Structure 1
Amino acid sequence: MALDPPQATPWTDPARFWPGVLAATAALDAPFGVLELDALAFNAHDLVRRAAGRPIRLATKSLRVREAIESVLALPGWRGVLAYSLREALRLSTTIDDIVLGYPTVDRAAIAALAADERAAARITLMVDSVAQLDLVDAVVHPAARPVLRVALDLDMSIDLPVLGHLGVRRSPLRDAAAAIALGQEIAMRPGFRLVGLMGYEAQIAGVVDRYGANRVYERVIAGVKRRSAQEAFARREQAVAGLRPIADLEFVNGGGTGSIEATIDDGSVTELTAGSGLFGGHLFDRYLAFRPAPAASFVLAVVRTPARGIATLEGGGWIASGPIGPDRRPLPVWPEGLAYEPREQAGEVQTPVRGGALRVGDRVVLRHTKSGEAAERLARYHLVRAGRLEGAWATYRGEGETYT
């Protein structure tokens, strides 16, 4: 489905936007997911604008909807995907010819399937950060019995600061350029592998919100931490790339995420960016200063009872996001306005009480997930809405009978 730039931005007026979503989906029984196509198109084009000419690799974990992935990839500025599972990558490789696996894999059956499929082996790049991962691949299929497999290095981009300690994700043992270069040399000497790229994800920039309203002191602290992170982590990546170039013909150097594009494009060693969560626009991004994606993805729950005056119970609701446990991991009720969780119950496994408004049995409540792709593990499909009209549905991976993590 075409994702042309929208002519209007109705989501900036919630009192206009969310009633339109509910009206378009009035015949559907909750719970169900919604993708507003103009909002999705706005996000896809805005990410390209922010990338300032760098191609963007789409992070599939942040969508988990095949038709959405293909629709975004059809747009100028988007190139290839960053998959999160080798089984997923194998499936996507039937239609997508540039797939980088974002994480190492020890899935022996999937490795064997990759080694048995020359087309998939030419389209998929494995991610590694240790010799042990190479050894495991060799143990599954001997190098002489398989095509040469494409691999990329995952460079750790976290930093350590006085007082604040470790910032970023403990993602890779390749903590400096020397470690990355040593592994690159090992790959160059081993039959059956070809080093084609490097990835460095600066999570302490991309994944940390920096808009705190009246708390300007905290905002300044976060800004300082992000500047320091960029200086140290980007220098590490530049050094690693410089050291790897004589060893291997790197096809790509990948960096960033939705939340760090403006910073990552300042790293001259990066040839491509990654983004995904900003396409669906989880509510976590409402607290970033540099950008504000449209709320493209949402889900709708129904009121099933009213146990007390001013309290309504929703069916379901405990769609909690991964990451550090806290209030920002909860779904955000956005319509009707003014709803809040019961402090001692929060979002529940099968029911969620909320306060506020004058809800009745059968009424619907619109919520947004903290992140983006995780909601797809709860849904068989997203119903497509554009300009207040229902325009079909896209199956999620789960709806297609596939689950990868």
Structure 2
Amino acid sequence: MVSRELRHALRGLAAPAAVLDRDAFDANLDTLRLRARGLPIRVATKSLRTPAAIERALSQPGYSGVLTYSLPEALNLHARGIRDILLGYPSVDRASIRALLAEAGATANITLMIDCTAHLDIIDEVRTELAAAEAPDREADSGAGASVRICIDVDSSYRLGEGLLGDRVHIGARRSPIRDAEAAALLAEQVHARPGAELVGLMFYEGQIAGTADAGRSPRQTAIRAMQRRSIAELAKRRTAVVAAVRDLGELEFVNGGGTGSFESSAAEGTLSELAAGSGLFSPGLFDGYTRFRHEPAAYFVTPVVRRPGPGWVTVFKGGFIASGVPGVDRLPTIAWPPDLAYSGLEGPGEVQTPLHGAGAEDLRIGDLVWFRHAKAGELAEHFNDLIVVSGSRIVETWSTYRGEGLVL
């Protein structure tokens, strides 16, 4: 339920607009820190996509470093003065790799993600091109320049009956081909042998735990909870072996893992040196379906009523901000206020208009605001240039999103 104070703050505001409840955001910072059990939290910037929100999180105790989506984003945050930047995904963006190698201090503060030697080859090719351009009369040296910090992404998904079925029953994100201690150690050896590359970390993302809602009594939700229990046990054993095998070859600065939805099991496991989270600070609609934690809804979008097409119905402007992933009802925005409103079964949330019906429509007038929560956290920022920041019943700030600053991830 959206508080009366929050609704009062936006009276008369031009809409559609994105809104951040700063008090709820700060409460979520505290909740995540408590759930982390003393482990530092690396801020997942893709889930915020708003520089001021990222900086506010980093200013709090228990938060250290960022996990970015793309190399252009990492370079942009580095230019802002943010340090300890881990790229969450491999990059084959040669122009950005060139910029990384050329920018003073960037290679010391930005860590690239890999899961195969082809990623290292691209880095070396760019290094060679850069060296040749700087010294055309000399033979290019692919080992020239500063060392590039490297992290290996290790697949953390769950595979039912893996010994017999291989990857045919794969539950979780399709990410890295590196899955066991042997494969991780082999790739680590290749990084150590590569001039100009320095292995500093490992990353594990258990999306089937951190990113999968488990609340409910349906057979499906019961099966999800059983899968997650088995996955937690399997991953703890496998992750311990991977970390030990890679550490036998050299020291690591960090072992990263977790996600907002798996802080409890990830923190308790004992193999990780840090956790990563971002979505929990906004607490989007998908997070209503978890049993292990409860955060405060902090990010909304509001849009005005523009029609009353019939008794019990209103139509709001726009509203069709559908989340990525497998299409389904859980990808639709959650109607946050007023209560007792539902989507039209024939239209749903639309690009230009969204009809709503129910008892909550009776007291709405033309121009009144209806409040929604996006199903996912960071994707809200892809639709708005700014977040209207509210504390109590007052608008206190306006924070530009990546979109508002013209940053393309």
Fold match, TM over 0.5?
Answer: yes
CA contact (8 A) 1:206 1:260 kept: yes
- Indicate the residue corresponding to 1:137 in structure 2: 123
- Indicate the residue corresponding to 1:7 in structure 2: none
Q: Equivalent of 1:38, from 23, 39, 42?
A: 23
1:355 partner amino acid: H
- Indicate the residue corresponding to 1:185 in structure 2: 189
2:20 partner amino acid: L
Superposed, 1:5-16 pairs within 5 Å as: 14=1
- Indicate the residue corresponding to 2:51 in structure 1: 66
Rounded Cα–Cα distance in structure 2 between residues aligned with 1:403 and 1:317: 23
Q: Equivalent of 1:349, from 348, 351, 359?
A: 351
Rounded Cα–Cα distance in structure 2 between residues aligned with 1:322 and 1:139: 34
2:227 partner amino acid: V
Instruction: Give the gaps of 5 or more residues in structure 1.
Output: 1-13
Q: Equivalent of 1:175, from 172, 179, 187?
A: 179
User: Deviation string for 1:287-311 (max 9, x for gaps)?
Assistant: 1111111011001011111222222
Rounded Cα–Cα distance in structure 1 between residues aligned with 2:280 and 2:90: 24
Rounded Cα–Cα distance in structure 2 between residues aligned with 1:211 and 1:144: 52
1:325 partner amino acid: P
Rounded Cα–Cα distance in structure 1 between residues aligned with 2:7 and 2:110: 40
- Indicate the residue corresponding to 1:196 in structure 2: 200
Rounded Cα–Cα distance in structure 1 between residues aligned with 2:336 and 2:171: 31
Over aligned residues, Cα RMSD in angstroms? Answer: 1.4
- Indicate the residue corresponding to 2:147 in structure 1: 148
User: Deviation string for 1:246-298 (max 9, x for gaps)?
Assistant: 22220000011000000111221110001100000101111111111101100
Instruction: Give the gaps of 5 or more residues in structure 2.
Output: 129-141
* 1:360 partnered with 2:365: yes
Superposed, 1:120-269 pairs within 5 Å as: 120-142=106-128, 143-162=142-161, 165-212=169-216, 214-215=217-218, 218-269=220-271
Aligned residues: 387
CA contact (8 A) 2:144 2:196 kept: no
SS in 1 for 2:408: coil
CA contact (8 A) 1:254 1:273 kept: yes
- Indicate the residue corresponding to 1:6 in structure 2: none
Rounded Cα–Cα distance in structure 2 between residues aligned with 1:352 and 1:177: 51
* Structure 1 residue 218 displacement after superposition: 4.5
* Structure 1 residue 362 displacement after superposition: 1.0
CA contact (8 A) 1:312 1:353 kept: yes
User: Deviation string for 1:191-215 (max 9, x for gaps)?
Assistant: 0100000001011110111111x43
1:312 partner amino acid: V
CA contact (8 A) 1:154 1:199 kept: yes
CA contact (8 A) 1:36 1:385 kept: yes
Rounded Cα–Cα distance in structure 1 between residues aligned with 2:18 and 2:36: 29
SS in 2 for 1:273: strand
1:257 partner amino acid: G
CA contact (8 A) 2:283 2:298 kept: yes
* Structure 1 residue 36 displacement after superposition: 0.6
- Given the two structures, how large is their TM-score scaled by the length of structure 1? 0.93
- Indicate the residue corresponding to 1:395 in structure 2: 400
* 1:116 partnered with 2:102: yes
2:160 partner amino acid: L
SS in 2 for 1:93: helix
1:394 partner amino acid: W
CA contact (8 A) 2:148 2:196 kept: yes
- Bigger shift: 176-185 or 306-315? 306-315
* Structure 1 residue 144 displacement after superposition: 3.3
1:101 partner amino acid: L
* Structure 1 residue 238 displacement after superposition: 1.2
User: Deviation string for 1:149-202 (max 9, x for gaps)?
Assistant: 000000001121159921111111112121111000000001010000000101
Rounded Cα–Cα distance in structure 2 between residues aligned with 1:235 and 1:117: 40
**What's the % identity of the aligned pairs?**
49
CA contact (8 A) 1:18 1:335 kept: no
